[in-house]
Structure 1
Amino acid sequence: MLTIDLERLKLEDGNRVLDLGCGRGRHTHALYWQDTPLHVTGLDLSETDIMATANGFFDLPPPPASPDRSGTLAAGDAHRLPFRSESFDAVICSEVLEHVGNPDRVIREIDRITKPGGRVALSVPRYWPEWICWKLSEGYRNTPGGHVRIFRHDQLHAAALRAGLRKTGHHWAHALHSPYWWLQCALWDIREDHGLIRAYRRFLEWDLLKAPPLTRGLETMLNPVMGKSLVMYFVKPV
């Protein structure tokens, strides 16, 4: 399940791309296996997630060999990225900034390591669906390693502008996931055992695997209204 629209990054053969806060590697793997050969780096604070991303490289046959295709993984802190300035053609930071202590510093680091003319994609939970989650459950917002802030659209945009990035577009994603998280929060203490939540999870897994036109079309229509994630795209001026 991808949150970032990779086509908006306008990637070319041999580009260097960083998936910052890669988690278990959904965007890292998608970048590595796409037709355009890229030098992909995944970085996360969690060594456990880095190992899961590494294992995911063996789930599918390798893509066509190319000197312009490689994959690298590292554990590190988004506040102090271990990369030289202007070393990436594109940077993805998906569902990370709501977790970090100083998002402005992280975005400044993203700007620092992005080449002039390079592309940046940032995604965070959308304000009002996330606000409902916070109101429904103290456990949701107080989970260790969980979300420590909610971003408004203009707040994320302003933080990127302060770092020197210029916005090129935005969209919303994962509308069908918003009710799932509202259910989880409303039934937080019994969420693991509740039949309705398990049934909704099975529905989302089925939708992910089968991608039927009906639900894909429904989510496309609902995303502007109740998309769970806000996704913004930027360019670093030359």
Structure 2
Amino acid sequence: MLTVDFDRLAIARGSRVIDVGAGAGRHSFEAFRRGADVIAFDQDAAELAGVATMFEAMVEAGEVPEHASARTVCGDALALPFPDHDFDVVIASEILEHVPRDTDAIAELVRVLKPGGTLVVTVPRWLPERVCWLLSTEYHSNEGGHVRIYKADQLRAKITHRGLRFVHDAHAHALHVPYWWLKCAVGVSNTEHVLVRAYHRLLVWDMMSKPAATRIAESLLDPLLGKSVALYFQKPVVSLVEA
């Protein structure tokens, strides 16, 4: 389940892509399939071990071009261990809402992006996220949980302040919103509730089968109720002086 629209990233042979906060690797895998040289970056070594195993499986299954490469790096998003202007594409999907010092993380994302490169950031959308917070303290108060709710224009301003040019926004995963509202209403850890289990089965069926009816429904609902907002930026070829 991708939150990022890869058709907007112009990934080509030799493109260097870093997926910051890669988690289980969903965006890293797609970049690898498209022929990029990929780094899946995260602070969770256990998650990255699974990502590395999947990278190897993808190569063995012939799912990636021979020229593509992929590896994992464990570290801190506030101090990315890479030189300035190192990547053509920087992805930060569903990570900034977890980071107390988000402006420092944004500075790092911008620093490692090449002039002319693309940064895409996704975060939970304000309204669906606000409802989740109102319904459940457990949803956001756990260790490593969400520390803020973004409004898209506020996040956009934080990133353009660093000299990037905003180019596009989009919303995704509207069908997932009722699922999370249900979970928050009955208890986030109550995975056996009959309504939660039923909706989860629906989501799994939808992701596996991709029926036209639900794809059309979600595309129509995303602008109104999409759970995530994705913001796309480009770094000017002539870097702006940071304030």
The TM-score normalised by the length of structure 2 is: 0.94
**Whole-Å separation in 2 of the counterparts to 1:142 and 1:106:** 21
**Whole-Å separation in 2 of the counterparts to 1:64 and 1:103:** 33
In structure 1, what residue type is equivalent to 2:161?
R
**Structure 1 residues not aligned, in runs of 5+:** none
The answer to whether the 8 A contact 1:116-1:237 is kept is yes
Give the match for residue 232 of structure 1.
Answer: 231
Give the match for residue 45 of structure 2.
Answer: 47
**Whole-Å separation in 1 of the counterparts to 2:55 and 2:135:** 38
Alignment root-mean-square deviation, CA: 1.2
**Whole-Å separation in 2 of the counterparts to 1:85 and 1:58:** 29
- SS at the partner of 2:4? coil
The TM-score normalised by the length of structure 1 is: 0.96
The offset of 1:189, in angstroms, is: 5.9
In structure 2, what residue type is equivalent to 1:16?
R
In structure 2, what residue type is equivalent to 1:6?
F
In structure 2, what residue type is equivalent to 1:203?
L
The answer to whether the 8 A contact 2:32-2:64 is kept is no
C-alpha distance after superposition, 1:88-143 (max 9, x if no partner): 00100000000012111111111110000000100000001000000000111111
**Structure 2 residues not aligned, in runs of 5+:** 238-243
Give the match for residue 114 of structure 2.
Answer: 115
- SS at the partner of 2:180? helix
The answer to whether the 8 A contact 1:104-1:163 is kept is no
Q: CA separation of 1:211/1:83 partners in 2, compared to 1, >3 Å: closer, same or farther?
A: same
Moved more, 113-122 or 48-57: 48-57
Q: How does 1:1-238 map onto structure 2 within 5 Å? A: 1-34=1-34, 37-60=35-58, 61-67=61-67, 69-188=68-187, 191-238=190-237
In structure 2, what residue type is equivalent to 1:83?
F
The answer to whether the 8 A contact 2:179-2:199 is kept is yes
How many pairs were matched up? 235
Q: CA separation of 1:236/1:186 partners in 2, compared to 1, >3 Å: closer, same or farther?
A: same
The answer to whether the 8 A contact 1:89-1:114 is kept is yes
Q: CA separation of 1:206/1:58 partners in 2, compared to 1, >3 Å: closer, same or farther?
A: farther
> In percent, how many aligned pairs have the same letter?
43
In structure 2, what residue type is equivalent to 1:2?
L
Q: CA separation of 1:199/1:118 partners in 2, compared to 1, >3 Å: closer, same or farther?
A: same
**Whole-Å separation in 2 of the counterparts to 1:127 and 1:5:** 20
